Chain A
Amino acid sequence: MSAILLLADHDNRTLKDGTARALTAALALGGDLHILVAGKDCGPAAAQAARLAGVSEVLVADSDDYAHHLAEPLAALLVALSGPYETIVAPATALGKNVMPRVAALLDVMQVSDIIKVVSPDTFERPIYAGNAIQTVQATDVKKIVTVRPAAFKATPAGSAVAPIEPVPSSPSSNLSTFVGAELARSERPELTAARIVISGGRAFQSAENFRKYLEPIADKLGAAIGASRAAVDAGYAPNDFQVGQTGKVVAPDLYIACGISGAIQHLAGMKDAKVIVAINKDPEAPIFQVADFGLVGDLFQILPELAKAL
């Protein structure tokens, strides 16, 4: 039976939601499934990985080298471990996107990026041109390196069994790059890519204050994550990692509420697989209405406070 290695995305304490979603794609390949948890003091994340259904072994590389998920040491580790595995999989999160092409090149393999469907163990569907076309590709290399679009797969839940946890030695470190610092937002809200409801704002908000003032009360009531268009991020109304779209995050929540967003193809690429889309825009001709299940034409500065009250 073939063996598959899944690279976990985590913060040492808990797994990121994308890991369990990528696991669903990895399990669809059919094979003995191992998860690699590389980090520093990452025991809790490894214990969580061991409980996920379908996992037969958890490899743990616990070392300062992996504390900040720098690409060079992580890729070296994956290459060192790659021998027995036919396929190496990671979620297409900032971590997976950074590390996996490095692994692929070191193994002389062409990576299949951002898959949305497993057709067979070597054949996948993936979006190109901002999702305006779907390619079916067959990987011909002996090993396969695959990243998985988290929004396209449901998360595999914890099962009843607990997989064994095996420590693995770290690879010699290269010191090519060093971690200096991070500014990560702490938020009580759900992760954008994991939220059941997302409410997003665009350029129409005119300021960061408005962005918060009009969106937060609704997000609070609905337990929603907040997203943004590129225009809103570029203008400084919202932080970078709020960006939904072709070159930001791809979300597929049950409900997506687009407020003051015109609906450029690059934005649609990130949200058009939501189950229900609501658009609020003062321009009845805005392209966003072409994909919205429910459209409300009007001024968001009037509509949003009303909506907050009605919920």
Chain B
Amino acid sequence: MKILVPVKRVVDFNVKVRVKPDGSGIDLQNVKMAMNPFDEIAVEEALRQKEAGKASEVVLVSVGPAGTAETIRTGLAMGADRGIWVKTDAVPEPLAVAKVLKAIVALEQPGLAILGKQAIDDDANQTGQMLSALLGWSQGTFASKLVIEGDKALVTREVDGGHETIRLRMPAIVTTDLRLNEPRYASLPNIMKAKKKPIDEKTPADLGVDVSPRLKVLKTAEPGARRGGVKVASVGELVGRLKEAGVI
């Protein structure tokens, strides 16, 4: 069985982004980019399944502009077998990404696709569910545990109030939550090896997918700033202040 892992190139999670003064978007000039952290967890999970003999090949796919191949290379250095870069001018919306991924699934025929639950730039939390719908597959979102048993996948999900476990008929879509695993670091030999692994290039047109946006972004603004208040000297003073503020 092949596992497909869609990975997104995003602004590194340590960077505090700045809104462009004219409100036209986020300033991405000279900003450090990285693989979406949830996608690192997805790559790690796919590799563990392969190491456990549940999968034969781990294929990465990323949709995006120049620089995207670098993110695929990061996943190849972790141990994935090969990559597919679907080249676009800008990063498409989740619905369009899901349509591109559906076309890739038709070509690659994986038995499982593992995605991140959420990209930390758009915070959309949509693509996996959308891909699952377009394929008519089962979905196990926000996974904190994945066990593959024959043609079924047992997924423990993080839900409000605790956990639940569901059984998916494969082929299936799984999206990762933070507690699924801790991604490995790429070793130096693997980074060298990754340089030789193939990355296939395609375009949405090759795949017959229209990636034009459906949402019009009218404005991007800074959130209302919150000012720091005062330091209090003691617990007594704190309690007094909170009573004054009417919150306790």
Name A's B-contacting residues (CB within 8 A): 16, 68, 70-72, 75, 93-95, 97-106, 108-114, 123, 127-141, 175-185, 197, 222, 230, 233-234, 239-241, 243, 246-247, 249, 254-255, 265-266, 272, 275-278, 284, 289-297, 303, 306-307, 310-311
Contacts and interface: CB of A to CB of B under 8 A. Distances in A.
B11 interface: yes
A303 B217 CA distance: 47
B107 interface: no
B192 interface: no
Contact of B129 (A98, A128, A134): A98
Contact of A98 (B11, B142, B234): B142
B81 interface: no
Nearest to A295: B231
Determine the interface band of chain B, counting residues with CB < 8 A from chain A. Answer: 35 or more
A139 B218 CA distance: 10
B214 interface: yes
A72 B179 contact: no
A290 B231 CA distance: 11
Given A127-B223, A294-B241, A311-B248, A182 B164 contact: yes
Contacts of A233: 178-179
B175 to A, nearest CB: 9
B219 A135 contact: yes
A133 B179 contact: no
Contact of B238 (A16, A95, A307): A307
B130 interface: yes
Given A129-B17, A276-B247, A137 B218 contact: yes
B214 A292 contact: no
Nearest to B163: A183
Interface in B105-158: 117-118, 120-134, 136-142, 144, 154, 157-158
A101 B228 contact: no
Contacts of B177: 240, 247
A200 B78 CA distance: 35
Given A101-B94, A106-B133, A295-B229, 19 more contacts: A16-B160, A128-B26, A128-B123, A133-B17, A139-B215, A176-B137, A177-B139, A177-B166, A179-B165, A184-B159, A197-B248, A239-B162, A246-B120, A266-B13, A276-B245, A278-B242, A292-B229, A296-B234, A307-B239
